[in-house]
Copies of this chain bind each other. A is one copy, B any other.
Amino acid sequence: MIATPYLLYLGHSNDEIGIKTSRGLAVFRPDICVGEYRHDDCGLTLGLPRMDFATAHAAGARTLVLGIANAGGRLDGEIVRDALAAMDAGFDIAAGLHQRLNAEPQLAAAAARLGRKLHDVRDPRPDIPVGNGQRRAGNRLLTVGTDCSVGKMYTTLCLARALATRGVSADFRATGQTGILIAGDGVPLDAVVADFISGAIEQISPDRHDGGWDLIEGQGSLFHPSFAGVSTGLLHGAQPDALVLCHDPLRRHMRGLPHYKPPGIAECIEANLQAARLTNPDVRMVGIALNTSAMEEAEAFALCARTAATFGLPCSDPYRMGVDAILDRLLAADAAPVRATANA
């Protein structure tokens, strides 16, 4: 577990895409974000108080999150200097950069000397088991997608928050770097060795007996030629009771692959249900989440209404319109008893 609350690092960033991890934390977990650290030439802000390390530590922050991405995911000299200063001020450091914190000798030495922790959220834990497909107690929802980067993490977080608002116990189970920093725990699924994909998900979503829900962050798409293996293992390991399909209606081709068109929604629903039935024959699709961020409001609502009518499923942009209709469907479907042993 990563100690919270966080101080979010922006450094010298002037590229909105480059700070998306810090942005995701500020948007979804303002309760654990004390402030932002940026240099004078940083033209961006998360809307949090700007703080130096001493001030932020005095305000309670415990981990400096290097929630930025630069070319090649490198730890450049300036980032290392800032991280060393933060450790001196009392901080642990967390990052999802390609170059590992623990592989940088100055950081490793300072961490050892000062008793600080370095969290490389791209490194899976070493004790991931092979999946066994055993039915686990409790309720699980997984977000799936027509493509990568269509809003699966945001949708999962919105569902978790909305369930909690209704008084239903719910935990977000993170499978990517930003999600792990948001949750303070999880597995970077893309970095797990192939034989352990489903086992990694079984590990982060064990038996649950409180009647609540594990909301598992999806990755990739069964229809993405580069990453469908990850999505398949995730689907089997999650053994979801419920799926929510996430889709970007303006996506023209599969992410990174101009020669592949996105699948149709009906085809994607059917393929995900079919694959999911292997480990949970009772799986149901309970909603469609559209990313309408690039659309006018009236157009976005009209599209969601049309999509709902076409597929007979609740449909909304979770971030813009909430997820009430999807939760109504989910909880209405939750009348079945918990099945702890039945299998295919």
Contacts and interface: CB of A to CB of B under 8 A. Distances in A.
B229 A132 contact: no
Residue from A199, A223, A232 whose CB has the most chain B CB atoms within 10 Å: A232
A54 interface: no
A225 B197 contact: no
B230 A195 contact: yes
Residue from A134, A222, A236 whose CB has the most chain B CB atoms within 10 Å: A236
A257 B227 CA distance: 26
B197 A134 contact: no
A199 B229 CA distance: 11
A260 interface: yes
Interface residues of A, number: 41
Interface string A218-247: 000011011111111110110000000000
B130 A233 contact: no
B260 A225 contact: no
Interface stretch (A24-32, A73-81, A185-193): A185-193
Contacts of A278: 223, 225, 228
Contacts of A228: 198, 232-233, 236, 275, 278
A274 interface: yes
A240 to B, nearest CB: 13
Given A223-B278, A278-B223, A257 B194 contact: no
Nearest to A134: B259
Contacts of A132: 225-226, 256-257
A124 to B, nearest CB: 9
A261 interface: yes
15 contacts: A131-B226, A132-B256, A133-B259, A134-B259, A190-B194, A191-B195, A192-B193, A192-B194, A193-B193, A193-B194, A194-B194, A194-B230, A195-B227, A198-B225, A225-B279
Interface of A: 130-134, 189-195, 197-199, 222-223, 225-234, 236-237, 256-257, 259-261, 271, 274-275, 278-279, 343-344
